[in-house]
Amino acid sequence: MSSYITNTSEQRKEMLTACGISSIDELFTCIPEDVRPQSFNLPKGKSELEVQSYFEQIANRNYANLTTFIGGGIYDHFIPAAVNALTARSEFYTAYTPYQPELAQGTLQAIYEYQSEICRLTDMEISNASLYDGGTALFEACQMALAAKSKKNRIVVDGGVNPIYRTMLGTYTANLNINLHEIPVSHGQADRQKIFSALDDNTAAVIVQNPNFFGVMDDHSDIVEHCHEKGILVIQSVYPIAMSVLKTPGEIGVDIVTGEGQSLGLPLSFGGPYLGFMATTKKLLRKMPGRIVGRTVDKDGKECFVLTVQAREQHIRREKATSNICSNEALCALRAHVYMSLLGPQGLRDVAKLCQAKTNYAKERLNAIPGVEVMESSPTFNEFVVKLPIDAMHLVNKLIEKDMAPGLPLGRFYPGMENYLLVAVTEKRTKYEIGILSESIEAVLQQETI
């Protein structure tokens, strides 16, 4: 916990004297009297012990240490202890923006290695030094596509794309001259016919996701080929762990790939901070937002690392900047780098295969419960949808009380799907935990039918 700092009366006087004023009120004389707050309605001050106790009481109201089967873009993967040990070093977590390469070679090299790993994972040519999160990375990919196809303003979005991401896209583009066209959701693989019929001469890009929000795996090669024939770019949002066993974006010819990097060594921290990763082809390099670290040699021939292709608003005219992103989530990207380095290609494949194997076991157990139906329209990675005979939110509330989060109620995002639950299984979930999940769901359903 950070130190609880108070200022004594003598210290306040000393600071006021240094400022050349006699009272705190004088600090606000530039603000007209009639617009100043009359009262801040603040309670009396508390001691350090009282403040600590108060916040602990608030924190204890949260459900912690849950056995979680929640997914939907954020996953409970195992994080090796070395990730925390290395990234908690002060050289990393206190490092500032690496604008001075002569002072930031360690940070720059770490980011460069992260970029290289993202390129290998996605089989793409160029990666940036990370973005805020998966949703904003997807929006930035839209901006890239529109900049590359400057005379077009239409983006076609498949309904299987994460609804949180689609909401973010709607928010970011609400006041821009961008025509977002959403394809009706398909609970299986992307509906090719609907996507192709939505394309026109004004379409700059198509957005798809693999695996999609329902956990369904899909080979988008035919979509990429069809779009490229019409001069349309393809943006693919991906789950990085799945990329170790599925066809990569680069393999099928995707133009821009984005995703949420949380599963690469970041914990479930109430939604962040996380990182969005992005990779693309060399021809779109000049349209890519954020920072890019390059490797070169100095005047003495020694290897060194620098920020390159600096097309951010701090470096060029604002109207020519590719993005106004002012942070690269470097510490989060460092965690992803350490995680990927520790596991290596085979380790990532092992994690992915464990996820798939345990997911198949969970499907078997849940499908055996009377009244529960596992939706098996398409092959899935580590998430799947189950249909319940009761409201999914009601089930979740019942099991949360037993320290278990059974999944994500789909009625929150899709009207009419109140009885559907999205279940995610990672390598952390044991057969015992999956068995407890199955038995707990069955017990709740039995109580509801009595």
Distance CA 113, CA 136 (A): 22
pLDDT for the residue 94: 79
Q: What is the pTM of this model?
A: 0.87
Whether the bond into 389 is cis, omega within 30 of 0: no
C-alpha distances in angstroms, 44 versus 7, 38, 51, 69, 98? 15, 17, 12, 43, 42
Structure tokens at 5: 């700092």
Task: Indicate the domain borders of the chain.
Answer: 67-75+345-449, 81-339
Distance CA 290, CA 57 (A): 40
pLDDT for the residue 90: 87
Q: Cite the beta strand spans of 241-379 per DSSP E.
A: 256-260, 276-280, 292-297, 303-308, 373-374
Work out whether the CA dihedral 116, 118, 120, 125 comes out positive or negative.
negative
pLDDT for the residue 2: 46
Distance CA 180, CA 154 (A): 6
> CATH number of the domain at 81-339, please?
3.40.640.10
Tell me if domain 67-75+345-449 and domain 81-339 are identical in fold: no
206, 227 contact by CB (below 8 A): yes
- Find, among 385, 392, 381, the residue nearest to 359 by Cα: 381
Distance CA 304, CA 27 (A): 47
Tens-of-pLDDT digits for all 450 residues of the chain? 445 567 888 999 999 999 999 998 898 889 998 898 888 788 888 899 999 999 999 988 888 789 999 999 999 999 999 999 999 998 888 777 787 888 889 999 999 999 999 999 999 999 998 999 999 999 999 999 999 999 999 999 999 999 999 999 999 999 999 999 999 998 899 999 999 999 999 999 999 999 999 999 999 999 999 999 999 999 999 999 999 999 999 999 999 999 999 999 999 988 788 999 999 999 999 899 888 899 999 999 999 999 888 755 556 666 666 665 656 578 999 999 999 999 999 999 999 999 999 999 999 999 999 999 999 888 999 999 999 999 999 999 999 999 999 999 999 999 999 999 999 999 999 999 999 999 999 999 998 875
pLDDT for the residue 323: 65
Structure tokens at 145: 């596509």
Q: What is the DSSP string of 369-393?
A: STT-EE--SS-BSSEEEEE-SS-HH
Report the 10 Å Cβ neighbour count for 118: 28
pLDDT for the residue 1: 40
| Matching CATH number, 67-75+345-449, of 3.40.640.10, 3.90.1150.10, 3.40.50.300, 1.10.8.60 | 3.90.1150.10
CA atoms within 13 A on the CB side of 61: 5
pLDDT for the residue 317: 65
pLDDT for the residue 134: 95
> What 3-state DSSP class applies to 320?
helix
